[in-house]
Chain A
Amino acid sequence: MTQPPNTYEELSCQELVELVTDYLEGALPGELHERFDEHIAHCSGCQGYLAQMRATIRATGTLTPESLSPDAESALLEAFRGWRRSPD
């Protein structure tokens, strides 16, 4: 049995890794999105890569946002009181 001819060129893994963010952001044009899905369905290496990327985003999301230093806070509050005292 002969394989149906490919209607489009296959993506390589090296090309796919550069498209991962656009894929996750829903920004890949339709045809490219299909090629991405097609590739990932058959490639365990790229499935592993996509899983790593999702895990990376999840882990980054658990970081504590940077906080305000006490020095900066007191300087800003001082400026605030100065503004409140201003005549206008």
Chain B
Amino acid sequence: MQSEAQLVAALRAGDQEAFRKLIEMYHAMLVRVARMYVSNQATAEDVAAETWLAVLEGIDRFEGRSSLKTWLFRILTNRAKTRGIREGRSLPFSALEPDEPAVDADRFHGADHNWPGHWAAAPAGFPEERLLAAETRDVIERTIAALPPTQRAVISLRDVEGWSAEEVCNALTLTETNQRVLLHRARSAVRAALEQYLEES
């Protein structure tokens, strides 16, 4: 595995393999993040492709003060935001979608009960052996694919790609609070889908 500094040096020297490695690592995620700001997939792919050209043109000026990853996603989000504004879209975090509860209200006792807000039907742990089955993973993938683009990007970066909260905030220029709100909604949706699937079958 090459270090980031080695990849940057190779890219400056015009090494195609270094470029291929970078696009394999990041391109699909760039498209997914761009989709937070623009209205369709084709535009998101366009913005990601432009971002690579901007990276190549700017690589001589890259000083390594942030990580290459952060720098790359910063270029992308700036471009995607500009494109989104031109499309007349409002920025995704100025209007977070209205609050959906993490768990349906009917799972809890109502106000007329002795213990309002306590579980009426308590959750049990998931069966470990089924959790990692291919079918269960399909359920997770489908649920993530159906999330709003902002939640989809955050859960993909955090829980699929394994980025830290700080890396996600930096790359997407999100506040820590918004990052957590989006992660919370996304994880809650996946949990609910898993619970339903594992109980049904």
Question: Which residues on A are within 8 Å of B, measured CB to CB?
Answer: 12-15, 17-18, 20-22, 25, 27, 43-46, 48-49, 51-53, 55-63, 65-68, 72-73, 75-77, 79-81, 83-84
Contact = CB atoms under 8 A, between A and B. Distances in A.
B108 interface: yes
Contacts, number: 143
B10 to A, nearest CB: 12
Nearest to B133: A59
Nearest to B57: A83
B52 A76 contact: yes
Nearest to A59: B131
- Interface residue SS majority, chain A: helix
B117 A53 contact: no
Interface in B49-104: 49, 52-53, 56-57, 101-103
Contacts of A58: 131
Contact of B118 (A13, A27, A63): A13
Contact of B24 (A22, A52, A68, A79): A68
A60 B160 contact: yes
Contacts of B105: 14
B118 A45 contact: yes
